Structures are given as structure tokens and as C-alpha cells.
């Protein structure tokens, strides 16, 4: 038997030769890729310290393990207000606390005004549009146009307040149809809030029965949730996983394509009877700008960037304001004494029948304090929108190279113990002075700071005040049979409450 075994050896060697030859190139390629990835994962010299990561994926796994903003605040207590994370070869720094965020976004506003060229953003908008666009001519042109149009067709017009009040009536009447029975307010708030942006962008509102528009908003907001998932962070680190036919990134791309088609058709429809240089809404104003710049080869106005900008404005305006109102309703039902206090102020300043008006806001410090506390406590956009550095820079002695991803932990600012007493307690009175007058706080930055700060802040503040006061003027809010919903937020780029039911009873 011995010689037979000995005979087999040269045969195996002969069979293994071609196999090895075939396997060698992919093995070498894999080896080269692993080495390249490990080199990418090295901290640049002088970079801030941070938690140790795993080979290849760095700290991505930690982001999936708990709420990322909470994890980051905890890490800042170990590594300092500015620390680094390795997002699978993507170098990122995290800014925690008011001082660090202000030092970068305000004191070095230009350097910190870029957006990171992450594969997800590249795939979705080619870094064009407005919200995700690189800091440069494209962003400047699109931001200026949006700010001007929002002023012209929105909050700059006296009549615009009246349009929000009209929408409030549709909203309250729709709530009335439930006659105090339990229901989920989410869809009605989403419809009412998105209609305010729709008036500016398309010059029209959509009825609450328009299922096509609602479906578009639903899948768009699903994408906001998916964009913060660990598997999408993995896609950013290893974009080649995009070829796999499964995974959350595939759902995200499918939704984005559907939203793109919907907006494309809608834009065609609302611009059908356009008269040049007589804009009726954002779409007309954009097309006018495109015409004016048609001979400029460097112009950044294009049909594609129009669709991206419209999508970004709709979702940035809807997802945020809707969630603030949903949290506000939840907290009013949770704390009936606070609800009663707001209603007392409404009755005193506005009365039971007149529509609330913005001029009354300055006479309603308690209501203002409640809305501010909801924005502080609930952290609708906990990590802001990722920034990037446009040049090499130095912060607190750390070297931050150009192109570094910058995460602004706005949650950590609103829970910064240097600026807030007992930040984990919901306490509207923190925004009132000893005379009961409203006081502004520096470390209140739900709309972020610096050049990329939210361009919808003024509109959002108008909507929040008018919708919230109209709602509490007409209804008393309570949970059905005293059942208190889960207060843990649902995770995503924005924090929203878990679905909950509410009874809205006529006062
Ligand atoms: C309560 C409501 C809102 C909150 C809490 C909020 C919060 C934010 C935050 C944190 C950012 C990131 C800023 C940064 O990159 O540092 C942002 C950006 C932005 N928001 Fe808002 N937002 C709200 C409402 C709105 C509304 C109503 C609109 C418009 C309809 C809007 C449009 C935008 C746009 C376009 C950007 C990107 C700005 C840029 O990149 O230049 N937001 N918002």
C-alpha cells in the first residue's frame, strides 16, 4: 500500500499546479485590497484620538450596536470633545459639545462648509443639488436661489401666514373626523407640513387623499432611515457591495429611483404653462435661472439638479418639522399640566375662536419655551448632516486633512452640561427668566451653525408655532386609556417617535 500512496504524490502535484495558477491572481488581488484597506485605516499624523476599531470595518460595528449619537457622546467623555472614528477607511472626526461645534462651524466656517464625497451621496445626487452638494459654485447658486425663492413665495409674503392658517383648518377638520377616537396623527401632520413646502415649490397643495404624493413622501422618509443604517455605512466604505442584489442599499436605490421619476413628472406638469421671467413658484424661478445661464458652460443649473434640489427641499422640510410636531403632541399628552399651561396662554392671548397669528408669538413665552424644549430634548437631526473639510486645517492642536468627514453631534450640544442644568429632564422653564419672559440660549442649535445652517429655519419656526397653537386651541390631547407609548426614538438620520395613538377631544 506504501508505494501506491507514494505514486499518488506526483499526481496531486500535477493536479494542483493549474489550480494554483488560477487561484493566485484573485488571491493576490484580495491581498492587495486588504493591504490597501488597512493602509487607508491608519490615522493621519496629528489626527484626534478615538476608539480602537476592527480591521477592515473600523468602528462601523459600534454605530449599529447602540444609538450612534449616544455612543459618540459617551466616546467624547473618554477621548475628548473632538475625537476620531474610522468608518471602514473613511477618516471622520466627531465634534461634541457646543464649544467644539462652534469652533469649527463658526470660527472656521469656510473650511468646514464642504460635504463628504461619500459613495452614497455620489450615487444619489452626483454631489449636485443643494443639501449634499460640494462647497463651491453649485452650492452657492442653488442655496441663493432657494433662499430668495423661499422669501418671495414663502415667509416674505404677508399672505403666506394666511396660507399656513388655511392648511391648519384642513388639518384640524381632518382630525375632527376621528371624533376623539384613537388614531395615529403621523399622516395628517406629514400632509399638512409638506403642503407648506409644496406651495412654495409647486405653487399648489395636495389633498390628504392624494395617495401618490403620500407614497412618494413615505418611501423618501424610509430612505432617511435607511441612510443611517450600518449596512449603508458599509456600502460607503466598500461601494463594490452595490453589485450584490440584496441589502438595505438596494432598497434605498430603488426608492430613490421611484422618487426621481415622480418628481420629474410633477415638475413637467407644474411648468407646462410657464411664462418666462414671470415665476409662480420655485420650479419656474429655477427654469428662468437655467435659461439665463444657458450660454455659460460652467453653469450648475440643470434639469437633474432641479430634481435633486426639489427632492431635498421637500424631504428636509417635511421629515423634520413633522417629527417635531409628533414629539410635541406626545409630550403634551405625557405631561397634561404642561399642555394645560399652553392652553391657558392660548386662551388668554388668542382666545378660543380667532386663528393664531405670528404677531402673538412674542406674547406667548411659555408656548415658545415648550416648542424650544421639544427641539432641544428630542434632537430631530441628532448628528446634523455630515460636513467635510475643504482644506487642511488645525483645531485644538489636531491636524485635520482636507476631505475629512466631520460629524456634528448636535445631540451632545443639547445635552452639554456646561450649558444645560439636568439636560436629561424635559423642562420648558429653562427657556424662561424669573419674570416668565422667554430667553434665548446660545447652546440651542437644532438648525446647526455656520454656512450650511438650515435654510428652512424661519419657515419651520412659523409652521411649528401656527400648527401647534391651532391644534391645542381646538383639542385636548390624551393617550387612549392612559397607555403611555415607548419614548425610545426610532433611529435614522432623523429621530422620530415610535408609532403611537392619540385621542384629540374637542375642548
Ligand atoms: C424643525 C425643522 C427643521 C430642523 C430641526 C432642521 C435642521 C437642519 C439641520 C440640522 C441641518 C444641517 C445643517 C448643517 O449641515 O450643518 C439642516 C439643513 C438643511 N435644511 Fe433644515 N431643518 C428643519 C426644517 C427645514 C425646512 C422647513 C426646510 C425647507 C423647506 C429645510 C431645508 C434645509 C436644507 C436645504 C438644508 C441644507 C442646507 C445646506 O446644505 O446648505 N429644513 N436642517
One digit per residue, pLDDT tens: the chain, 507 residues?
333 444 444 444 445 677 777 878 888 888 888 777 777 778 889 999 999 999 889 999 888 777 899 999 999 999 999 999 999 999 999 999 999 999 999 999 999 999 999 999 899 998 899 999 999 999 999 999 999 999 999 988 888 999 999 999 999 999 999 999 999 999 999 999 999 999 999 999 999 999 999 999 999 989 998 988 888 888 999 998 888 888 888 999 999 999 999 999 999 999 999 999 999 999 999 999 999 999 999 999 999 999 999 999 999 999 999 999 999 999 999 999 999 999 999 999 999 999 999 999 999 999 999 999 999 999 999 999 999 999 999 999 999 999 999 999 999 999 999 999 999 999 999 999 999 999 999 999 999 999 999 999 999 999 999 999 999 999 999 999 867 899 999 988 899 999 999 999 999
For ligand 1, atom 30, the nearest C-alpha belongs to 317
pLDDT at residue 301, rounded to an integer? 96
pLDDT at residue 3, rounded to an integer? 39
Give 324 Cα–ligand 1 centroid separation in angstroms: 13
In 349-454, beta strands by DSSP E: 387-388, 393-395, 398-400, 405-409
pLDDT at residue 12, rounded to an integer? 46
- Helix/strand/coil for 477: strand
The runs of H, that is alpha helices, within 135-247 are: 137-150, 158-176, 186-202, 211-226, 230-237
pLDDT at residue 482, rounded to an integer? 66
- 350 Cβ inside 6 Å of ligand 1: no
- 219 Cβ inside 6 Å of ligand 1: no
- Helix/strand/coil for 46: coil
Distance CA 100, CA 142 (A): 28
Closest CA to 504 of 281, 252, 178: 178
Task: Please state the domain extents for the chain.
Answer: 60-506
Query: Are 362 and 349 spatial neighbours (Cβ–Cβ below 8 Å)?
Result: no
- CB-CB neighbours of 262 under 10 Å: 19
pLDDT at residue 147, rounded to an integer? 97
Give 35 Cα–ligand 1 centroid separation in angstroms: 39
- 312 Cβ inside 6 Å of ligand 1: yes
Give 463 Cα–ligand 1 centroid separation in angstroms: 14
pLDDT at residue 4, rounded to an integer? 42
Q: Quick one: the chain helix, strand, coil %, rounded to 5?
A: 55, 10, 35
- 79 Cβ inside 6 Å of ligand 1: no
What is the domain class of 60-506 according to CATH? mainly alpha
Q: State the distance between the two ends of the chain, measured CA to CA, in whole angstroms.
A: 98
pLDDT at residue 42, rounded to an integer? 80
Give 249 Cα–ligand 1 centroid separation in angstroms: 24
- CB-CB neighbours of 430 under 10 Å: 18
Amino acid at each position: 500500500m506504501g508505494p501506491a500512496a507514494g505514486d499518488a504524490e506526483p499526481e496531486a502535484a500535477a493536479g494542483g499546479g493549474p489550480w494554483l495558477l488560477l487561484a493566485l491572481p484573485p488571491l493576490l488581488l484580495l491581498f492587495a485590497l486588504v493591504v490597501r484597506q488597512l493602509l487607508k485605516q491608519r490615522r493621519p499624523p496629528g489626527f484626534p484620538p478615538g476608539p480602537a476599531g476592527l480591521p477592515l470595518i473600523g468602528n462601523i460595528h459600534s454605530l449599529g450596536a447602540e444609538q450612534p449619537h449616544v455612543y459618540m457622546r459617551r466616546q467624547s467623555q473618554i477621548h475628548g470633545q473632538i475625537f476620531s472614528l474610522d468608518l471602514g477607511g473613511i477618516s471622520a472626526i466627531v465634534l461634541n459639545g457646543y464649544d467644539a461645534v462652534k469652533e469649527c462651524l463658526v470660527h472656521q466656517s469656510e473650511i468646514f462648509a464642504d460635504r463628504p464625497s461619500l459613495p452614497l451621496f455620489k450615487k444619489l445626487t452626483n454631489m449636485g443639488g443643494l443639501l449634499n452638494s460640494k462647497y463651491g459654485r453649485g452650492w452657492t447658486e442653488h442655496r441663493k436661489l432657494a433662499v430668495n425663492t423661499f422669501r418671495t413665495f414663502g415667509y416674505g409674503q404677508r399672505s403666506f401666514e394666511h396660507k399656513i392658517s388655511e392648511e391648519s383648518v384642513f388639518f384640524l377638520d381632518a382630525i375632527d373626523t376621528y371624533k376623539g377616537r384613537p388614531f395615529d396623527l403621523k399622516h395628517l401632520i406629514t400632509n399638512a407640513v409638506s403642503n407648506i413646502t409644496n406651495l412654495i415649490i409647486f405653487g399648489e397643495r395636495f389633498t390628504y387623499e392624494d395617495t401618490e404624493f403620500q407614497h412618494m413622501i413615505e418611501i423618501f422618509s424610509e430612505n432617511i432611515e435607511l441612510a443611517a443604517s450600518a449596512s449603508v455605512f458599509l456600502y460607503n466604505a466598500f461601494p463594490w457591495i452595490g453589485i450584490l442584489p440584496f441589502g438595505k442599499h438596494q432598497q434605498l436605490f430603488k426608492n430613490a429611483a421611484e422618487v426621481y421619476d415622480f418628481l420629474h413628472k410633477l415638475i413637467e406638469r407644474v411648468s407646462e404653462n410657464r411664462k418666462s421671467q414671470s415665476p409662480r413658484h420655485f420650479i419656474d424661478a429655477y427654469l428662468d435661472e437655467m435659461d439665463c445661464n444657458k450660454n455659460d458652460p460652467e453653469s450648475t443649473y440643470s434639469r437633474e439638479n432641479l430634481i435633486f434640489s426639489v427632492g431635498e427641499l421637500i424631504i428636509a422640510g417635511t421629515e423634520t418639522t413633522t417629527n417635531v410636531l409628533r414629539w410635541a403632541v406626545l409630550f403634551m399628552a405625557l405631561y397634561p399640566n404642561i399642555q394645560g399651561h399652553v392652553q391657558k396662554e392660548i386662551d388668554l392671548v388668542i382666545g378660543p375662536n380667532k386663528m393664531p397669528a405670528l404677531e402673538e408669538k412674542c406674547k406667548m413665552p411659555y408656548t415658545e419655551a415648550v416648542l424650544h424644549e421639544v427641539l432641544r430634548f428630542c434632537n430631530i437631526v441628532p448628528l446634523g448632516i455630515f460636513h467635510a473639510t475643504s482644506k487642511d486645517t488645525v483645531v485644538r492642536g489636531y491636524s485635520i486633512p482636507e476631505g475629512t468627514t466631520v460629524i456634528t453631534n448636535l445631540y451632545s450640544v443639547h445635552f452639554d452640561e456646561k450649558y444645560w442644568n439636568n439636560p436629561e429632564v424635559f423642562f420648558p422653564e429653562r427657556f424662561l427668566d424669573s419674570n416668565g419672559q422667554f430667553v434665548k440660549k446660545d447652546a440651542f442649535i437644532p438648525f446647526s451653525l455656520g454656512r450650511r445652517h438650515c435654510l428652512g429655519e424661519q419657515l419651520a419656526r412659523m409652521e411649528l408655532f401656527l400648527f401647534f397653537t391651532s391644534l391645542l386651541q381646538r383639542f385636548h390631547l390624551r393617550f387612549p386609556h392612559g397607555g403611555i407609548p415607548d419614548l425610545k426614538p426610532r433611529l435614522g438620520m432623523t429621530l422620530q417617535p415610535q408609532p403611537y395613538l392619540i385621542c384629540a377631544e374637542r375642548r
